[in-house]
A and B are shown apart, each in its own frame.
Chain A
Amino acid sequence: MKNPLDSLWGTVISGLVLTLIFYNVVKFAMH
């Protein structure tokens, strides 16, 4: 599998996915 960090779009999308994951983790931990 190609490393997503090799492309700029792969990097940005990975960042957005991480944001979504951490957002839900923090939201879950708060409630």
Chain B
Amino acid sequence: MMDFIQLGIGRWLHILSGVMWIGLLYYFNFVQVPALAEAAKDGTGAGITKHVAPRALFWFRWGAASTWIFGAMLLGKNFLAAFLFTNQAFYAIGIGAWMGTIMLFNVWVLIWPNQQKILGMVPATDEQKARGRRIAFLASRTNTMLSIPMLFFMAASGHQGVFFG
């Protein structure tokens, strides 16, 4: 029963949260950022920044947090073995876990605080906003880049024989 909750329900919730997180990450990078660049030309971006972006950011950052927490729950007693690469059985998930952790850091430390400035949720000068925009953009793009190997190693972790021979 404990295995069912930790490894079964935990895995399900990890994937659900992960779809929420990475789905919104791809929305930001593949849809919203190009759309806002286009909207800046005719001044129609206000609806996105006022009504869409704050909601998307809410589910994005909490999706990131819950994905990591359920991932840690899944690793359980193997948490350190995965992060420290002390056991071959956890090499693949160790890479995925490290990438996910770096991405979580980027969300909460680099993207969210700067988005609050950009969207006017906290006071900031124009200079701080411009700098924050660049930092948030690069952190978001870094996460999009890292999501590609991260998902590869997540997929590989339960099938190491197939992936690594």
Interface residues of A (CB under 8 A from B): 3, 5-6, 8, 11-12, 14-16, 18-19, 22-23, 26-27, 29-31
Give bound CA distance, A31 to B163, whole Å: 13
Q: Is B88 part of the contact surface with A, judged by Cβ < 8 Å?
A: yes
Total A-B pairs, Cβ < 8 A: 53
* Chain B residues, CB < 8 A from A12: 144-145, 148
Contacting residue for A18 out of B146, B160, B163, B164, CB 8 A: B146
Give bound CA distance, A30 to B85, whole Å: 11
Interface of chain A: mostly helix, strand, loop or mixed: helix
Contacting residue for A8 out of B29, B88, B138, B148, CB 8 A: B29
B34 to chain A, nearest CB (A): 8
Asked whether B29 lies within 8 Å of A11 as measured between CB atoms, the reply is yes
Chain A's closest residue to B34 (CB) is A8
Q: Would you mind naming 18 contact pairs between A and B with Cβ atoms under 8 Å apart? A: A3-B138, A5-B145, A8-B30, A11-B141, A12-B144, A14-B145, A15-B144, A15-B148, A18-B148, A19-B152, A22-B95, A23-B152, A26-B95, A26-B164, A29-B88, A30-B91, A30-B160, A30-B164
Interface residues of B (CB under 8 A from A): 29-30, 34, 85, 88, 91-92, 95, 138, 141-142, 144-149, 152-153, 160, 163-165
Asked whether B30 lies within 8 Å of A18 as measured between CB atoms, the reply is no
Given A26-B91, A26-B95, A26-B164, do A15 and B29 touch, yes or no (CB 8 Å)?
no
Give bound CA distance, A9 to B152, whole Å: 18
Give bound CA distance, A16 to B150, whole Å: 11
Asked whether B153 lies within 8 Å of A22 as measured between CB atoms, the reply is yes
Given A22-B95, A26-B91, A26-B95, do A5 and B142 touch, yes or no (CB 8 Å)?
yes
B82 to chain A, nearest CB (A): 13
Give bound CA distance, A27 to B156, whole Å: 12
